[in-house]
Amino acid sequence: MHKITAIGEILFDIYPEKKLLGGAPFNFINHIWKITGNANFISCIGNDENGKEIVNYLNSTDFNTKYISFDEKHPTGTVHFKLREDKTPQFTMSSENSGDFLVLNESIDKKSNRFAADICMVDGAIPAEDSIYSDYCKIFSSLNRTA
């Protein structure tokens, strides 16, 4: 079975009547986890009520949260949805949210040797060759080949 890692945001999609977990990287890896029971997700959330709610929910479902870090300076991301008068959707994304400030730092590097990835996705796509995320995906993939 392939080992799959996703790097990117998790946030709340907020509708007038409810809020749901969202973010393309999270949606992708959550489906992989539901199918295989084995997936890694690297992300950052705000150290706020929304961030705590996310981690508490994920922990209650046994989703692996050990690679989700807390950002002390930036809030957990949100996307607000509403229908305009003509019934077309309007989306408003929060700015300066924790997902925009994910830092793959030394603590993530040290944790990375605990898992490897055959496939690594960033923001719901395979990262561009020249991105910092591509370098991390290469590290995770090489760990798998040497394991």
Tokens of 28: 């992708």
* Domain interval for residue 103: 4-9+23-76+99-146
CA distance 80 to 17: 11
Phi, psi for residue 134 in degrees, rounded to 5: -60, -40
Q: Is residue 113 part of a domain?
A: yes
Say if 18 falls within a structural domain.
Answer: no
Which CATH number belongs to the domain containing residue 117 in this structure? 3.40.1190.20
Phi-psi region of 91 (alpha: psi -120 to 50; beta: other; left: phi over 0): beta
109: Cβ–Cβ under 8 A, 6 or more apart, which residues?
139
Give the model's pLDDT for residue 136.
55
Structurally, the chain folds into a number of domains equal to: 1
Specify if 134 maps to a domain. yes
Q: What is the pTM of this model?
A: 0.74
**What is the pLDDT, as a whole number, of residue 86?**
95
Provide the pLDDT for residue 143.
46
Look-up: residue for tokens 């395979």? 126
Distance of alpha carbon 77 from alpha carbon 13, whole angstroms: 9
Q: Looking at the domain assignment, is residue 66 inside a domain?
A: yes
Structure-token pair, residue 31: 């489906």
In a domain, 84, yes or no: no
pLDDT digit string (tens) for the chain, length 147 residues: 566 788 888 999 999 999 999 998 899 899 999 998 888 888 899 999 999 999 999 999 999 898 898 999 999 999 999 999 999 989 898 888 887 777 665 555 555 544 445 555 555 444 444 444 555 555 555 544 444
